[in-house]
Amino acid sequence: MSEVASRRRLFQPRVAVAAVFGTTVEWYDFALYGTAASLVFNKLYFPDSDPLVGTILAYGTFAVGFLARPLGGAYFGEKGDTRGRKQVLVATLLLMGLATTGIGLLPTYGQIGVAAPLLLTLLRFVQGFAAGGEKTGALIILFENAPPKWRGLLTSLPAIGTGTGTLLSTGVFALCTGLLSDEAFLAWGWRVPFLLSAALTLFGLWVRKSLDETAEFKAAQESGALDAARDRSGTWRERLARTRFMEAWRRYPKAMLIVIGAGAAENAGYYVFGTFSVAYAEDRGLSTAALLSGISIAAAVKLVTVPVFGALSDRVGRRPVSIGGALVLLLAAWPFFVIVDGGNTALIWLALLVTLGIGQSAILGSQPAFFAELFDTKVRFSAVGVANNIGTVLTGGLAPMLATSLLLWFDHNVAGVVVFIALMSGLTAVTVAMARETRHTGHADSAATASPPSLPPRPTSGSTPEAPASGSASRGGAGRRR
């Protein structure tokens, strides 16, 4: 434990660079797809539909990527908790880059028929599968390297990647639409932003290859605490029971549910204000230029506000910062769309700064450390990866499609979308309020050296199963630590 603590005091900046850059590539890819779904894919891959219905179908493929994220979170979480954090960070970045580049090379519906939307959906699934491990891996590797008093600040740094990735993707898209005619853009120009992902991926792989494994994970390896998870004997039910995913649900059921619900406002807010708003403006016959430029400005502002809110959570706590962000999104939802209808560029920029630059950023900056502090080293990757990605699917991945459907069902009235944002903001506020403050939670270093739990049916020879009622390994351990 002393070795772990001493290593954490000597935080290495290259760890932050590697984590932030990988998240930047992830959100460049995801934001790129969201913008393309409303401007390109509805025309080139679903051309036989009504424009708004085509947008819904395009957002359907967008949602597929999110449905894959819990699967990726479970798979890469298991690998990260048993094989190492670094290995997962390299694998997820490579997989994400290959999928995004593949989209840039994909023939359209007019060229290969129905195979085009099917392949687009498949590549989106691969993106989501990789993202399920990428976001969590970046968070975990920073958390386990961070001094306790800097956890909020340092674990918020990967979230800067959401702003950087959005800024890059929206900026490249705006540049392509501004320099090219509509015909040239739809013919080939939209592919350029996707193909640029290859260069970003190669650089990110070079950076991540230089990382060391975290001291906490090394301590768990040396203690033999990971041996039971690598045991492949027994029936499939016994092997499943030994996975970190199942162990996390047995030991931390309340914490898992908290993580699922806590990010609702941030997820829905980002995709409604930052993605659906473009489709809303098009449906109204309004120019999208002010929204696209405003999203870029808000993304740039988030480079500052996200770590500021992360640092603030180190001072006043994770809960008040997160709940405050949810309330901002709740109060700003209706005025946002009124401002978009007005078409005033300056006010649209202001509305995006309030929703994305303040409301979403407050949640995004305060919750990474909050989530990681709920679990110990042995199950942290799997627990956060699965629970957070389930929440992202339910409240984020379906948000653009649901918002567009609500717009259609309410006869092009935005009232249904506003109610949706209000419900998601309320869910975040209530869920976070039900949790205990984790800012002063002691780092679960002891879990790294704990013996395997009693639940696996075949503990390795020489190891003693952990008593169910002992310390943090018991079902109630999470509550006592908090």
Confidence of residue 250 (pLDDT cuts 50, 70, 90): very high
Nearest-CA neighbor of 244 among 380, 70, 71? 380
Find out whether 86 and 145 touch, Cβ atoms under 8 Å: no
* Residue 10: per-residue pLDDT: 52
Output the CA–CA distances (angstroms, integers) from residue 389 to 158, 287, 374, 426, 448, in the order listed: 16, 34, 16, 19, 24
Q: Taking 50 as the threshold, does the pLDDT of residue 107 lie above it?
A: yes
Which pTM value belongs to this model? Answer: 0.77
Short-list 59, 144, 56, 71, CA closest to 377: 144
367 within 8 A of 324, measured Cβ to Cβ: no
Cα separation, 128 vs 96, in Å, equals 8
SS3 332: helix
The DSSP code sequence of 145-213 is TS-GGGHHHHHTHHHHHHHHHHHHHHHHHHHHHHHS-HHHIIIIITHHHHHTHHHHHHHHHHHHTTPPP
Q: To the nearest whole number, what is the mean pLDDT of the chain?
A: 82
Per-residue confidence band for 444, with pLDDT thresholds at 50, 70 and 90 = very low
Q: What pLDDT is attached to residue 324?
A: 97
Whether the predicted pLDDT of 221 surpasses 50: yes
Radius of gyration of the chain from Cα atoms?
22
Find the mean pLDDT for residues 154-170.
81
Q: Whose structure tokens read 């993580």?
A: 259
Reduce the DSSP state of residue 453 to 3 states and report it: strand
pLDDT at 459 over 80: no
76: confidence class by pLDDT, cuts 50, 70, 90: very high
CB count within 10 Å of CB 467 equals: 12
The encoded tokens of residue 297 equal 């400005």
Pick the range with the lowest mean pLDDT from 131-145, 191-205, 297-311, 458-472.
458-472
CB 444 within 8 A of CB 375: yes
CA max distance for the chain = 71
State how far the Cα of 138 lies from the Cα of 160, in Å rounded to an integer. 12
- Fill in the DSSP letter of residue 341: H
Pair 272, 402: CB distance under 8 Å: no
pLDDT, residue 466, reads 40
Q: Specify the range with the lowest mean pLDDT, choosing from 24-33, 88-97, 280-289.
A: 24-33
At residue 170 the predicted structure's pLDDT band, cuts being 50, 70 and 90, is: confident
pLDDT above 70 as % of the chain: 82
Using CA atoms, how far apart are residues 83 and 106, in angstroms rounded to an integer?
34
Residue 413: CA count within 13 A, CB half-sphere:
6
- Both tokens of residue 31? 């934001």
